[in-house]
Structure 1
Amino acid sequence: MYPHDSVILIINRRGNKKFTESECFFVFAEVAEVPVSAAEGEDCVLPCSGHEGVNVKYLEWTEVDQRRDLLAYRGGKTLQRYDDYTNRVQLLHPQLQSRDLSVVLNKVTFKDSGMYKCYALYDDRQETSQFIRLRVKEEVSGLEIKAFVKFNSTHKHLTLSLTGAADAQAFVSSSY
């Protein structure tokens, strides 16, 4: 399930297998996402909060868009799951002694941008699912932007040019 999807729960009050509109009601819930941004090369925390006073039986962090597993926690042990995250991800609190289930992602790269999911299962069978949207900002330096505007009696002409980095050259021209 992705953030902002609606969840529909159908409950039949009589327990029979046929559902009619008068016998059912719908519950809609919206799943929110937490926005996180970091500059390329920085370490960042992907936040996740759990239930207070309940032991975590299983914790899993996944990158939703690419369907990659970051890590799993089971039986007091943290397991790295995907090669791209080896030695780059760890629990913020390794013993999960607080309700903080956050992870630290070291030296983020532009390809780390995307949706992450924190899922926890507790000893009492409660569950937590949270979505985090990571946006990694690329640092660009040494660029020069030039803007030229030319007016005459019939139209305006705008020219923008961007130079400086080999992979960041652009030219835009517009008349109106």
Structure 2
Amino acid sequence: MDSSKFGWVIIIWMLSVYVGCHGETNITAEPGQNVTLPCRAPNSSENLVLLWTRPDLGPDYVFVYRDNQPDPDSQHPSFRERVELKDSQMKDGDVSVTLKDVTFTDTGTYECRVTQSQIKRKKRAPEPDLISTVHLRVSAGECVFV
């Protein structure tokens, strides 16, 4: 490979590492495990609205936090009582959530969105800022035959 092509390969690799390390995460889990979906938002929790979405699920959310509390009424039914804030105090802007007892159907792309403004309770408003993206893959562990 000549040096100019090698240079481009290095640049593309560095960009992919940068993008992967800043805002995108890949997680693999086995069915039944609890998984933390990481996200770090601005430190201020005043008027914080946190939306965890999975774009393929339509208008319902994976997790919603507004008015200083979770809002289960806006959650997709498959996530009710299975998602909670990792740190209820959201110290240092940690708005990660824990997804309990994952199943194969939880495989997908999750987006963490945060805004400091109010969003009307029942109406889907324009999307807040995308903070991080998590690609979750739930698969059975490898079998070992003896």
In structure 2, what is the Cα distance between the partners aligned to 1:32 and 1:77? 25
Q: Closer, same or farther in 2 for the Cα pair 1:54/1:34, shift >3 Å?
A: same
Residue identity matched to 1:83: P
1:76 maps to 2:68: yes
- Paired position in structure 2 for 1:87: 81
In structure 2, what is the Cα distance between the partners aligned to 1:94 and 1:39? 25
- Paired position in structure 1 for 2:29: 38
Higher relative contact order (CA 8 A, sep 6+): 2
- Paired position in structure 1 for 2:114: 120
In structure 1, what is the Cα distance between the partners aligned to 2:105 and 2:78? 10
State percent identity of aligned pairs.
27
Question: What are the superposed Cα offsets for residues 75-113 of structure 1, whole Å, 9 maximum, x if unpaired?
Answer: 111012111011111111123233101000000001100
- Paired position in structure 1 for 2:46: 55
Residue identity matched to 1:112: D
Q: Closer, same or farther in 2 for the Cα pair 1:106/1:50, shift >3 Å?
A: same
Q: Conserved in 1, the CA contact under 8 Å of 2:40 and 2:131? A: no
| Runs of 4+ with deviation above 6 angstroms | none
Taking structure 2 as the reference length, the TM-score comes to 0.66
Q: Structure 1, unaligned stretches of length 5 or more?
A: 1-29, 145-176
In structure 1, what is the Cα distance between the partners aligned to 2:47 and 2:145? 49
Q: Structure 2, unaligned stretches of length 5 or more?
A: 1-18, 118-127
In structure 2, what is the Cα distance between the partners aligned to 1:56 and 1:50? 13
Q: Which moves more between the two structures, 134-143 or 42-51?
A: 134-143
How many Å apart are 1:143 and its aligned residue? 6.3
SS at match of 1:69: coil
In structure 2, what is the Cα distance between the partners aligned to 1:54 and 1:79? 16
Taking structure 1 as the reference length, the TM-score comes to 0.56
Which one has a bigger Cα radius of gyration? 1
In structure 2, what is the Cα distance between the partners aligned to 1:128 and 1:66? 17
In structure 1, what is the Cα distance between the partners aligned to 2:45 and 2:69? 17
Task: State the Cα RMSD in Å.
Answer: 2.5
